[in-house]
């Protein structure tokens, strides 16, 4: 492991906005489950998750725009998350936190109806059929999200991978979820809001390559 990674892992542990629970921390119920707003953010504002947040650009950008909402970036790559943690600390952004864990364990950290929105920004599309269940919009993952989202909760997907976009559209239709917005060419769609106002490192990279950005905004079928 490189020296910079080791330094970043060590510095992460000094940030008040960084959480890296152990197995013991969640085995008997995570202390912040159902209490993120009251015990960490100290308010009753809605909570927004970014799954696979990477360096945290999207979460940080949203937190700056919406001081009346709380944001949590979730990823397993601690060295990448260091950038978002440090930016939030340096710029005194208090409505954001970062949680280092696997997305498969999301139900251990958040309670029923605790989350208002979920952003999935440029995840691994898992193109091989055998990896389908690892796609972050697979029925297995959507079921996990349903267990923590509020009734009117929203899920956003941004991806350069048409395969994942098409797959997600099919999953939504097959399970009677509700599509609010969808486009396979975001920057020629006429949409003008947070979806285009904040760009991650990967999005800028894909745009520079001339790739089209796909976007879906949807709500889950409540019978899920």
> How many C-beta atoms surround the C-beta of residue 178 within 10 A?
12
16, 39, 124, 185: the active-site residue: 124
The structure tokens listed for 197 are 């106002």
Specify whether 124 is catalytic. Answer: yes
Angstrom CA distances, 24 to 3, 27, 74, stand at 28, 5, 19
CA–CA separation, 181 and 88 (whole Å): 30
> Is the separation of the CB atoms in 68 and 94 below 8 Å?
no
> Is the separation of the CB atoms in 82 and 14 below 8 Å?
no
CA–CA separation, 146 and 138 (whole Å): 12
Q: How many CA atoms are closer than 13 Å to the CA of 109, on its beta-carbon side?
A: 23
* Edge-to-edge strands, sheet with 115-121: 18-19, 96-100, 70-75, 47-51, 115-121, 149-159, 214-219, 178-183
Torsion angle, CA of 118/121/122/124, rounded to 10 degrees? -30
Q: Which residues are catalytic?
A: 124
């Amino acid at each position: 492991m490189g020296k910079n990674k080791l330094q970043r892992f060590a510095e992460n542990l000094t940030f008040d906005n960084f959480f890296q629970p152990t197995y013991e921390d969640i085995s008997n119920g995570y202390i912040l489950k159902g209490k993120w707003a009251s015990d960490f953010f100290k308010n009753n504002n809605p909570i927004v998750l970014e799954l696979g947040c990477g360096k945290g650009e999207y979460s940080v950008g949203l937190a700056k725009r919406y001081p009346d909402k709380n944001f949590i970036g979730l990823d397993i790559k601690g060295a990448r998350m260091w950038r978002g943690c440090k930016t939030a600390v340096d710029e005194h952004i208090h409505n954001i936190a970062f949680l280092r864990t696997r997305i498969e364990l999301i139900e251990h950290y958040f309670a029923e109806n605790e989350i208002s929105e979920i952003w999935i920004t440029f995840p691994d599309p898992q193109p091989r059929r055998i990896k389908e269940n690892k796609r972050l919009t697979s029925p297995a993952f959507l079921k996990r999200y349903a267990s923590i989202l509020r009734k009117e909760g929203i899920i956003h997907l941004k991806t350069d991978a048409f395969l994942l976009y098409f797959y997600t559209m099919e999953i939504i239709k097959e399970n009677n979820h509700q599509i609010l917005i969808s486009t396979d060419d975001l920057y020629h769609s006429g949409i003008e809001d947070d979806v285009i106002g904040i760009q991650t490192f990967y999005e800028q990279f894909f745009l520079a390559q001339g790739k089209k950005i796909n976007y879906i905004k949807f709500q889950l079928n409540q019978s899920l």
